[in-house]
């Protein structure tokens, strides 16, 4: 009997934590761009970042404010601190103030999320 040699199966290399978060954020960006309300888009952008970090091992503690959470995450990650700070600042303004949230602020939040994704990839 003659045996045919099978080609080797590709080895799946597990994604790093940073790569997993980057993939998660990548899927969220298109949804955020389609949100017509700038305030809701900014809040959603931050919430998705927080959920992605939480899903991958860095959840926000119940006692943490957005700023406290940000500081702790920055110690864990090697991503762009300025982008996370920008997104957090926009989130706080959108969530906790009655100031206008403009379409430019929405785009700034989405841009920040992209920079976070790219720095993690």
Does residue 57 lie within any of the structural domains?
yes
For residue 16, being part of any structural domain is answered with no
- Enter the pTM of the model: 0.73
Mean pLDDT of 31-51: 87
Per the structure, the complete domain to which residue 80 belongs is given by 36-120
The predicted-structure confidence for 71-98, as pLDDT tens digits, reads as follows 888 777 766 788 888 888 998 899 899 9
**Number of folded domains that form the chain:** 1
Alpha carbons 66 and 32: distance in angstroms, whole number: 20
Q: What is the 3-state secondary structure (H, E, C) of 41-87?
A: HHHHHHHHHHHHHHHCCCCCCCCCCHHHHHHHHHHHCCCCHHHHHHH
Residue range 5-17: mean pLDDT, rounded: 70
Which residues, 6+ apart, have CB-to-CB distance to 106 below 8 Å? 32, 35, 38, 41, 42
Q: What would the pLDDT profile of 99-116 be if each residue is shown by its tens digit?
A: 999 999 999 988 988 888
Half-sphere exposure of 21 (CA within 13 A, CB side): 29
């Amino acid at each position: 009997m003659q045996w045919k040699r099978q080609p080797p199966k590709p080895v799946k290399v597990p994604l790093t934590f940073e790569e997993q978060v980057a993939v998660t954020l990548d899927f969220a960006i298109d949804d955020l761009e389609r949100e017509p309300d700038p305030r809701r888009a900014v809040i959603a952008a931050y919430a998705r970042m927080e959920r992605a970090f939480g899903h991958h091992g860095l959840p926000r503690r119940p006692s943490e404010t957005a700023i406290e959470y940000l500081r702790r995450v920055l110690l864990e990650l090697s991503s762009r601190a300025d982008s996370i700070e920008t997104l957090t600042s926009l989130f706080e303004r959108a969530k906790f103030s009655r100031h206008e949230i403009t379409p430019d602020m929405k785009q700034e939040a989405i841009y920040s999320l992209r920079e976070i994704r790219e720095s993690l990839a």
